[in-house]
Structure 1
Amino acid sequence: MRLRRLKKVQNSFGFTLIEIMLVVIIIGVLAAMVIPNISGRGKQAREAAARADIDANMSAALDLYELDNGVYPSTEEGLKALVEDPGSANNWNGPYLKKKQIPKDPWGREYVYASPGVHNSDEYDLSSLGPDGTPSDDDVVNWVK
């Protein structure tokens, strides 16, 4: 009787090698399908955040500044004119940004502002230098939608 009970206990411990290999293969297949889809999301999210800052937040603040003062801040005044009176503004009613500070792009760098713009000569150019921090094809800009 005791021998029979020991055999049952010995047979029920652990997993077989085939079961373990099957689980490892399934996990490998799932990882191979999921990882490529996840890996590009960080870059896309940062680009989308920069696009939202440029097309919505900063543009709205710059348009309000222009509405109050008749002109956009000059390149020299820069985006700082949205949070501090530059002194040359006729009717500055700022700060024009809610947090009262100039946001950085998703890569931690300052946005590049020029008025009048090279690409938007009657308004302004606003851009993020993207992940590489240099003017290149990966920049997020307000003159290309």
Structure 2
Amino acid sequence: MPYRFKSRRLRRRSGARGFSLVEMLVAVAIVGLLIGLVGPSAMRQLQSSRVKATEAQITQLRSALDIFLIDTGRYPSAQEGLNALVNSGGLIPGWNGPYLRDGNMPVDPWGGTYEYILNNGEVRVRSLGADGRPGGTGLDADIQG
């Protein structure tokens, strides 16, 4: 009796069909071609999305700086920097913040910090781009507003 049971199980297995090596290689080749064709354009889209997200965050920071100016009558000093938008330390008269959502300072899409530049009353906010260094071209270029 046990012998008959084993033979049925073996018969069932031998009737099952799997993938051949050639079928597997064809599937892997097709996936490789798709990645090779679609991958570079997807990466370009990702990088351009990061630039657009950075521009949007800089616009948000500039708006928060303008509200800070309305409340306090001045922009943050170079020493206070952008941190003055989320924490006054109780030392800024008229401060009515935090001026950023959730009270957190955003980082740029590449994980870098935004730079605050105050020069003769002119305010700029800058991201150093993909390379994290001043200057650069293309995706490595600084983004400022």
TM-score by length of 2: 0.70
SS in 2 for 1:40: helix
CA distance in 1, matches of 2:112, 2:30: 42
1:115 aligns with 2:118: yes
- DSSP 3-state at the match of 1:49: helix
Q: Judge conservation of contact 1:74–1:115 (CA < 8 Å) in 2.
A: yes
Q: Identity over the aligned pairs, expressed in percent?
A: 40
Change (3 A) 1:80 1:27: closer
Q: How many residues align?
A: 128
Equivalent residue letter for 1:129: L
Taking only aligned residues, the RMSD between alpha carbons, in angstroms, comes to 2.8
Structure 2's unaligned 5+ residue stretches are 1-16
Going from structure 1 to structure 2, the CA distance change for 1:103 and 1:23 (only over 3 Å counts) comes to: closer
1:92-125 Cα distance to aligned partner (Å, 9 max, x none): 1111111112111111121110213xxxx43312
- Which of 38, 52, 59 aligns to 1:48? It is 52
The match for 1:79 among 82, 88, 92 is 82
Change (3 A) 1:29 1:102: closer
- C-alpha deviation, 1:34, in angstroms: 2.3
Which residue of structure 2 aligns with residue 64 of structure 1?
67
Counting helix residues as a fraction of each chain, which structure ranks higher?
A: 2
Please tell me the residue identity of whatever aligns with 2:96: N
Task: State how far apart, in whole Å, the 2-side matches of 1:135 and 1:104 are.
Answer: 16
| Cα offset, 1:90, TM superposition | 2.9
- The SS at the match of 2:39 is helix
**Alpha carbons of structure 1 residues 100 and 31: separation in structure 2 relative to 1, 3 Å:** closer
Unaligned segments of structure 1, at least 5 residues = 1-12
Say if 1:88 and 1:123 are closer, same or farther in 2 by CA, change over 3 A: farther
| Aligned residue runs from structure 1 range 1-145, under 5 A | 30-55=34-59, 57-116=60-119, 121-137=120-136, 138-142=141-145
How many Å separate the matches in 2 of 1:105 and 1:23? 39
